[in-house]
Amino acid sequence: MMQQDLKIINNLLAKYSLADFLPYIAEEDGIFINKNSSGFVLQALPVLGCDEATEQKLHALFKNELPLGSNIQFMLIASPKVGEMLSNWQQARSNSTSIFQKLAAKRVKYFAKLAVPSATSDLVVRNFLLFISVSIPGSNLNPVQLHELSALRLRVITLFNSLDMQCQSLYAADLIKQLHPLFNPTLEVDYREFNYNPSDPISQQLLDFDTELQVTTRELTFTTDEPHVVRVYGVKTYPNSWMLSEMSHFVGEFLQGGTQVVTPFEADS
């Protein structure tokens, strides 16, 4: 990227909010209307390894279910937002004896500390989230098209649930809750709760007013409570063949610290 291009981008970001460039407009009954497309977003459990039957079902999704011209995107997020999971774990032990309650509190404190990147430890705790978005061209759909898109959503949910992925539809408040930490990164382990305001575009509800973004040739710097650096990497060379059962190696191996990704990350496909 040329320095002149960077100057233009940063001048625009100084004058406008990043939210002005995002496509999200509104949501109704789980269908999102964007600037140039419409679709739905699902949340599911990541799959670590699979068998031939799983591959066949995924092949059927691409071959038979998705309409011509549609787009499907998978986004895996390794989030430091582990507070809700830890609270639920601790709450399940609230009726135990006092000693076990104290042990649970200490474990929660320990794991919450591991959610923050540290230069002294390769061991990290992450909340792995998988989001699946499906969209079709056009933002002004007629009732028949909206019905067909809703029916497609149900079929896709059914397919992924047949793989034990606990797939469910996301609505506007859910999407804002999950995307807000990406645009306003902090070191907090708890999510912020949001109420969706249908009178404002969704994109305007994703960014805080005091969040700043600076672009350089190497990275993006989001400044909230303190600067957070984001770097984007792409695939230079793909392998000649790859098995779905090997997908877990993309996020490192537990017993090999050198292969782990110690920072929060997002992977798209």
Reported as a pLDDT band with limits 50, 70 and 90, residue 252 is low
> Looking at residues 137-153, what average pLDDT do you find?
94
**Whole-angstrom distance, CA of residue 97 vs CA of residue 99:** 6
Lowest mean pLDDT among 8-22, 123-137, 199-213, 254-268: 254-268
Sign of the dihedral defined by the CA atoms of residues 34, 40, 43, 47, in that order: negative
Could you give the angle at the alpha carbon of 190 between the alpha carbons of 181 and 221, nearest 5°? 30
Whether the pLDDT of residue 155 is over 80: the answer is yes
Residue 27 has pLDDT above 90, yes or no: yes
CB distance 214 to 221 below 8 Å? yes
Distance of CA 40 to the CA centre of its chain: 14
Reported confidence tier of residue 253, pLDDT bands at 50, 70, 90 = low
Q: What's at 162, amino acid-wise? A: S
The position carrying tokens 């269908």 is 31
pLDDT exceeds 80 at position 160: yes
The predicted pLDDT at position 154 comes to 96
Q: Would you tell me how many other CB atoms lie within 10 Å of the CB of residue 255?
A: 7
Mean pLDDT of the chain, nearest integer:
89
The pLDDT of 212-239, averaged and rounded, is: 88
pLDDT of residue 198 exceeding 90 = yes
Over residues 35-55, mean pLDDT: 89
Q: What is the DSSP letter of 190?
A: S
**H-helix or E-strand containing 150?**
helix 143-161
Q: Is the pLDDT of residue 152 over 90?
A: yes
pLDDT tens profile 174-190: 999 999 999 999 888 99
Give dist(CA 159, CA 14) in Å, integer: 44
Q: What is the mean pLDDT of residues 196-222?
A: 91
Strand partners, 168: 43
pTM of the model: 0.88
Strand order in the sheet with 220-223: 212-215, 220-223, 227-230
Going by their DSSP bridges, the two strands 227-230 and 212-215 should be labelled as unpaired
Coil, strand, or helix at residue 9? Answer: helix
pLDDT at 143 over 90: yes
- What SS3 state is found at 184? coil
Determine which helix (DSSP H) or strand (DSSP E) holds 110, and give its type and residue range: helix 98-114
Q: What is the pLDDT of residue 186?
A: 87
| Local confidence band at 193 (pLDDT 50, 70, 90 cut-offs) | confident
| Pair 79, 181: CB distance under 8 Å | yes
Treating both helix axes as pointing N-terminal to C-terminal, what angle do 83-91 and 98-114 enclose, rounded to 10 degrees? 170
| 212 vs 227: CA distance, rounded Å | 9
What CA–CA distance (Å, rounded) separates 38 from 27? Answer: 9
Predicted pLDDT of residue 118 = 73
What is the band of 233 on the pLDDT scale with cuts at 50, 70, 90? confident
What are the domain boundaries of the chain? 18-79+129-206+233-255
On the 0-12 / 13-18 / 19+ scale of CB atoms within 10 A, 77 is buried
Give the pLDDT score at 254: 63
* Segment 153-179 mean pLDDT: 94
Reduced to 3 states, what is the DSSP secondary structure of residue 235? coil
